[in-house]
Amino acid sequence: MKVNVHVSLKPGVLDPQGRAIHHALEGLGFAGVNDVRAGRLIALDVADDTSDEALDDMCRKLLANMVIENYRIEKVG
């Protein structure tokens, strides 16, 4: 089973990587960019019988830092 985990910073948390990307896009001449936030995408290939609880557990224990990050689990198939 393919599972994508999207990890993004919580709103309000300072995002220096996103700011650097924003700045670089402006430097390259791209206008109309209002905001950039950087996050992580973790693509897992897990056994078909992996429970939602186990996936949740993986995110909370390792993949995301729950203090400053949110995660979203997307089952791809």
Which residues contact its own copies (rule: CB under 8 A)? Answer: 6-8, 18, 21, 24-25, 28, 30-47, 49-50, 54, 57-58, 61-63
- CA-based end-to-end distance of the chain: 6
Largest Cα span, the chain: 48
DSSP 8-state secondary structure symbol assigned to residue 13: S
Helix (H) or strand (E) holding 52: helix 52-58
Q: Which is nearer to its own copies, 42 or 73 (CB)?
A: 42
Q: Which is nearer to its own copies, 18 or 67 (CB)?
A: 18
CB of 14 to its own copies, least distance (A): 15
CB of 38 to its own copies, least distance (A): 6
Q: How far is CA 9 from the centre of its chain?
A: 7
